[in-house]
Amino acid sequence: MGALLPRLRWPAIAFATKPAALWIEVGAGSFEHAEAIARANPTIGLVACEVFENGIASLLSRIAPGDTDPASAALPPNLRVYPDDARALLRSLPDQSLGQLFLMFPDPWPKARHAKRRFVHPDMINEIARLMPSGAEWRIASDDPTYQNWVCAVFAEQNNFVMAQQTTMRPEFWPATRYEAKAIRAGRQPYYWIFRRTER
């Protein structure tokens, strides 16, 4: 797999063709959601951020099973991997350059003293707002009650995004993930939100 990751790594390898829009997934896990989104939206460029090697290895093993020749791997041409903290990538992007952001089942950091580590945070909301043009979407899913309450509370105290949808039923256009299935089997109820950037 070592020969394959450099062909997917952002920003060292740019998209083969200029995408119609840049989308980012934060904490891609095993990349099921990112891969499905990339394949279903071939005109966009998707950068999936994941710091854990196991998740990246899961993606590479699916698209190149058996460590086959990377030249023949079934690569989504519009998918790139960013194997570091997504915050650094987001802060490097120019204003109004992000068409959509996905945050699927993030680490809840459940203790109050760890709240500053949560990706949904007032400072990060301001940063995402800088990156998004009017109407761009930020989609969030969580199965953790502490994080669910946190999302509602943090977004209630800002005016850069409006809640376009909140549901306990995953929308049909929203790809499933193995973490979601695990949460449901364990009796945890996921929530799904779509927040839309207000008029600038």
Catalytic sites, residue numbers: 107
* CB distance 20 to 79 below 8 Å: no
The number of beta carbons lying within 10 Å of the beta carbon of residue 96 is 14
Nearest to residue 26, comparing CAs of 77, 87, 78, 76? 87
Nearest to residue 49, comparing CAs of 19, 76, 79? 79
| 3-state SS assignment for residue 85 | coil
| Spatial separation of the C-alpha atoms in residues 143 and 168, rounded to whole Å | 10
Amino acid at 126: N
CA angle 104, 195, 147 (to 5 degrees): 45
The number of beta carbons lying within 10 Å of the beta carbon of residue 89 is 16
